[in-house]
Structure 1
Amino acid sequence: MTFTRALSAEFLKLFSTRLWWILALTLFLYVGAMAGGLGALFGWVASGGDGSAAGVSPLPPGTNLHAVIYSMASSIGYVFPVLLGAFAVTGEFRHQTLTPTFLATPRRGIVLAAKVVAMLVVGALFGVIAWAATVGLGAAALGSFGLDTSLESADTWALIGRGVLAMALWAAVGVGLGALVPSQVAALIIVIAFTQFVEPVLRLAASFNDVTANVARFLPGAASDALVGASFYAIATPGGNAEALIWWQGGMVLLAIGVVTTVAGYFTSWRRDVT
């Protein structure tokens, strides 16, 4: 019953604040606008609106346009569940609410485990919101140019399901990062810098050499893209010939990152005296 109470407390803490719905709304608008905008742009190009031959895909051969558009939910939107997971932990340090939390549940491992489970659930919710935005607006944009949306395909729905799983795992990674770096400002800087600049640059630079490209497959964003099965970054990193991880391998890499950061955070800041 202790874990159940701790889990209920985590959901109560989260949904009693405005942070979760502000991030969710921003996520919906951000990925929806990107998917709708790029869907319209690519649709216009593919329809011959730029003077090229109609019916010619603007993407490399073998790349599914609809999959790239839809997958923007995870390929650029994963930063939001990471931030939510990190803030769920760092907020406790910042507002000094860990003291009453640990008094109510002295077994700190249970508290951290409850946070991970709660963030997995809410991360999946963020995944549903993000994919609803990209699939809805992206399909509308593609359909307006008479392009295939593949919404009737089982492969598309499998893609969506894996995308929701990826977003859930990203939220768990955020919890681990928050436990490892309890400073909210530092965690925010790390998340934004790494997801928006460091990893994209590393993936682009690594793609021009087969050896580094093979190593770059294990970066968290690359593993997430492999789990989903499509990514906008796949068309932005021409170069190396390394094959992406199999979807389940990508999921295992992302899960391992979440586990390692969480365990490391538990044995460092989480076990320290917080009073």
Structure 2
Amino acid sequence: MSLTAATRSETTKQFSTAMWWVLAIVLAVYVGFTAAVLAFVFAASATGTLPGNAPELPEEGLAETLYSVATSVGYVFPLLIGTLMVTAEFRHKTLTPTFLATPRRGLVLWAKLLVGVLLGVIYGVVGIAASVGPAAGLLSGYGLETELTTADTWAQIGRMLLAYVLWVLIGIGVGALVRNQVGAIVGVLVFTQFLEPVGRTAASFVDGLSEVTQYLPGAASDALVGASVLTMGAGTEPTGGLEWWAGGAVLLGYAIVLVVLGHLLSWRRDVS
């Protein structure tokens, strides 16, 4: 079977189940709600209309920080769909007929990566629309600049789309390396929702630790995008100094290493 035929088969396989669009809906709701709430608070603070004695945020960089919700908060969804693309096959044992039809296992993995790029673009469009839409609407409603007419904003959106694609590829690598679906999902959630956030928070208080944490995947993703709502400040650098291209290179490095390790250590093993 050729790569084209394997990719066509993989596309049919992935889009014939409800998994991809259910996660896409959850992504849209989660990111959209988060972006709307933060945009309301940040915009009200920037215009001095927030009740209480809340500090006023500067308007500069506010739009790009709010738009970054799509990646700084929503990156776990492309990571999960990439992981599920592989682990679901191990769990439901659909890889057995796939490998019988396509004995060249590397070809099957390449097909998954290509479909993963497509899913990354789809999830990226959903996540970006969910963050930019409500954020821009609220900024405009408060009389603040949406920055949607600037080249820098559209460059950021392009980098956010790239980040989504890379996160799906990382997920495929994780799924190929960790066959057990429950173990892979738990590992992804523990790392992304606990271990890395704790490490990056600790770096704010421990001298020199940021030199290490800036190379964590979430921090690299924020560097690639160029903004992060997790900094809770507009216009600040999201990491300890990585350029956007360096952040992208680190994220790509994670994807390559995980996919290669998955292929060498797990993908070529017998499927029960």
**Equivalent in the alignment of 1:138:** 135
Matches within 5 A, 1:192-207: 192-207=189-204
Residue pair 2:219, 2:238 contacting (<8 A) in 1 also: no
Asked if the contact 2:213–2:219 (Cα under 8 Å) also holds between the matched residues in 1, the reply is: yes
State the Cα distance separating 1:125 from its structure 2 match: 1.2
1:69 offset after TM fit, Å? Answer: 0.5
Amino acid at match of 1:244: G
Residue matched to 1:11: 11
How far, CA to CA, are the matches of 1:25 and 1:244 in structure 2?
A: 34
Counterpart among 226, 230, 235 of residue 227 in structure 2? 230
Deviation digits for residues 21-54 of structure 1 (CA, Å, limit 9, x no counterpart) = 0011110111011111110111111221136899
CA distance in 2, matches of 1:48, 1:167: 34
Q: Secondary structure at the match of 1:209?
A: coil
How far did residue 269 of structure 1 move? 1.6
Please give the per-residue CA displacement for 1:188-235, whole angstroms capped at 9, x wherever unaligned. 101111111111111010122342111111000000000011001233
> Aligned runs of 1:234-273 on 2, under 5 Å?
234-235=231-232, 243-273=240-270
Identify unmatched segments of 5+ residues in structure 1: none
Q: Which runs of 5 or more structure 2 residues have no equivalent in the other structure? A: none
Q: Deviation per CA, 1:53-82, whole angstroms, max 9, x where unpaired?
A: 99x8426xx961111110000011010011
How far 1:101 moved relative to its partner?
Answer: 0.4
SS of structure 1 residue aligned to 2:209: helix
Q: What is the rounded CA distance, in whole Å, between the counterparts of 1:83 and 1:124 in structure 2?
A: 15
Question: What is the aligned-residue identity percentage?
Answer: 51
Amino acid at match of 2:97: P
- Shifted more, 36-45 versus 206-215: the winner is 206-215
Change in Cα spacing, 1:242 to 1:80, as seen in structure 2 (3 Å) is closer
SS in 2 for 1:268: helix
How far has the Cα of 1:162 moved from its partner?
0.2
Query: Could you say what the CA RMSD is over the residues aligned between the two structures, in angstroms?
Result: 2.0
Asked whether the 8 Å contact 2:20–2:81 carries over to 1, the reply is yes
| TM-score, normalised by the number of residues in structure 2 | 0.94
- TM-score (normalised: structure 1): 0.93
Tell me the SS of whatever aligns to 2:44: helix
Q: How many residues align?
A: 269
- 2:77 corresponds, among 73, 80, 85, to 80
Shift of residue 10, structure 1, vs aligned partner: 1.2
Counterpart mapping for 1:1-275 below 5 A: 2-50=2-50, 57-58=56-57, 64-235=61-232, 243-275=240-272
What is the alpha-carbon distance in structure 1 between the residues aligned to residue 88 and residue 70 of structure 2?
26
Matched residue SS, 2:208: helix
